[in-house]
């Protein structure tokens, strides 16, 4: 179903670097009150992962669509 072809894609690595930079900066410079509640942390991780994979597959879809034309 899902393969690990994403690891060979340049788009994956570009987005991963951007998202990891944002994640580290948010953890370091973000409000500490945000991380005190378990629900906030859970929602943050779920939305963070969903945003990453959504952007990756949208970028891949439009890139492949443009390449076909």
CA-CA distances (angstroms) from residue 47 to 23, 41, 53, 65, 69?
A: 12, 10, 10, 26, 33
pLDDT band at residue 3 using 50, 70 and 90 as cut-offs: low
**Is it the case that residue 1 has pLDDT exceeding 60?**
no
pLDDT, tens digit, 9 for 90 and up, residues 45-64: 999 999 999 999 999 999 98
pLDDT, tens digit, 9 for 90 and up, residues 15-47: 999 999 999 999 899 888 888 889 999 999 999
CB proximity list for 40: less than 8 A, separation 6 or greater = 34
């Amino acid at each position: 179903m899902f393969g690990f072809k994403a690891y060979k894609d340049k788009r994956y690595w570009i987005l991963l670097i951007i998202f990891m930079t944002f994640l580290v900066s948010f953890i370091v410079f973000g409000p500490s009150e945000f991380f005190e509640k378990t629900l906030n942390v859970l929602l943050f991780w779920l939305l963070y992962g969903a945003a990453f994979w959504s952007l990756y597959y949208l970028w891949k879809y439009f890139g492949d669509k443009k390449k076909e034309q």
